[in-house]
Amino acid sequence: MLSSKLDEVIDRGQFTNGPTVKELERELELFTGAKYAIGVGNATEALIIMLRAAGIGPGDEVIVPCFTFFASASSVAHVGAVPVFCDIDPVTYSLKVDEIESKITERTKAIMPVHLFSQMADMVSICKIAKKYNLLVLEDSAEAISMFNNGVHAGLVGQAGVLSFFPTKTLGAMGDAGMIITNDDNIAEHARLLRIHGQEENDLGIHKVVGYNSRMDDIQASVLLGRLKYLQEDIAKRAYLTSLYNKLLADLSQVQIPIIKERRDVANPVYYVYLIEVEQRDDLVTYLSSVGIGTETYYPTPLHIQPCFSYLGYEYGSMPNAELACTRTLGLPLYPDLTEKEVHKVSEEIHRFYGNGVNK
């Protein structure tokens, strides 16, 4: 499947924004239920284009969690708006809902929930607040393919969302690729214009707005079409490996295994990242690395104290949940081809590090 699609792209010789990209867009409209899926270069550009297409610009404020991938906030700054940082819920790692209202001013235009690791933000509460203050909800659903809220795919609960197909994502390409998904006619039309230098596809040479070069690559689209067929199988493997980790690590008091909120509105966690919270995180990272086990620290420094956002005037201490998470969270290896033996090995080394012996 993968090679036949790839051969098709190579034989056709149309390598960007071509028929294979369009086929992927149709498939993802079907998969997510979106009226429009718009392929772009990566999810960072998808966020920028989504914000601009939704009318966010200079002087506007967008409420963003301070514990997330950099692009959630940099995209806001890129369109000339101000990211207003909010602390996180310590379980979902997304927006702390009861802090959002205190961040709203007359300049606030949108809330950007980010769905991280395994589960969605509390979209029911966030949408209620957005409705009360007439704000847009623009979702950073880059990590959230196949996450649903009351049957609605992540990115479509609000006005628009994005998907990342970065190679490590649940649906990963062999390079960069991203997508905007929306049910909103105006956002879709504007996003299509923005992705290719502000031109209509059938009226090239006329630039209606100043856009970007954010074409999706057809070779990546062919990879994604092939992998989409295995997405649910891959998620099931991730779920199994997650439950195995949970079982093996449960006896360690120094390790907090992931808490998936049992909420009626969350149908299916996708187990994108196996994120634990641990004591002595940095020492554990060094130890695991010394025995050949790679880990990922999501995220070592919260966004409100990043040097590039110092102009916003936030201080360390103002976002306690995020600041604590930055010192404790650790992503263990998790991907569909990871073996049970490898999970056992990771668990054994973590036990060894904490001096608790080796579990069987």
Query: Nearest distance from residue 298's CB to ligand PLP, in Å?
Result: 9
Tell me the angle at which helices 218-228 and 2-12 cross, rounded to the nearest 10 degrees.
Answer: 160
Residue 50 binds ligand PLP (CB under 6 A): no
Decide whether 32 or 164 has the Cβ nearer to ligand PLP.
164
Select 34 or 303, whichever has its Cβ closest to ligand PLP.
Answer: 303
d(CA 168, CA 180): 19
Q: Does 72 bind ligand PLP (CB under 6 A)?
A: yes
CB closer to ligand PLP, 173 vs 252: 173
Q: Does 82 bind ligand PLP (CB under 6 A)?
A: no
* Nearer Cβ to ligand PLP (178/211): 178
Is the CB of 100 or the CB of 142 nearer to ligand PLP? 142
Among 146, 164, 170, 222, binds ligand PLP (CB under 6 A): 164
CB of 214 to ligand PLP, least distance (A): 10
Residue where the block lists tokens 């689209």? 221
Site size with ligand PLP, rule: CB under 6 A: 15
Amino acid of residue 122 = D
Indicate whether 166 belongs to the interface with ligand PLP (CB under 6 A): yes
As a whole number of Å, the CA-based R_g of the chain is: 21
Shortest Å distance, C-beta 75 to ligand PLP: 8
User: Residue 299 CB, nearest distance to ligand PLP (Å)?
Assistant: 10
Nearest approach, Cβ of 71 to ligand PLP (angstroms)? 4
Footprint (CB under 6 A) of ligand PLP, residues 92-151: 114, 140, 142-143
Question: Which listed range, 54-62, 63-71, 214-222, 236-244, lies at the site for ligand PLP (CB under 6 A)?
Answer: 63-71
- Distance from C-alpha of 74 to C-alpha of 114, rounded to nearest angstrom: 13
Give the residue with the Cβ less far from ligand PLP, 44 or 159.
44
The least CB distance from residue 70 to ligand PLP, in Å, is 8
Cβ-based nearer residue to ligand PLP, 70 or 354: 70
Can you tell me which of 53, 62, 71, 76 binds ligand PLP, judged by CB under 6 A? 71
- Residues 87, 98: Cα–Cα separation, whole Å: 10
Stretch near ligand PLP under the rule CB under 6 A, chosen from 20-28, 37-45, 49-57, 312-320: 37-45
The residue from 68, 182, 295, 347 that contacts ligand PLP (CB under 6 A) is 68
Query: What x-and-dash track marks residues 267-296 binding ligand PLP by CB under 6 A?
Result: ------------------------------
Question: With b meaning 16 or more CB within 10 Å and e meaning fewer, what string describes 34-43?
Answer: bebbbbbbbb
Residues 178-217 that bind ligand PLP (CB under 6 A): 178
Residue 172 interacts with ligand PLP (CB under 6 A): yes or no: no
Contacting residues toward ligand PLP, per CB under 6 A: 42-44, 68-69, 71-72, 114, 140, 142-143, 164, 166, 176, 178
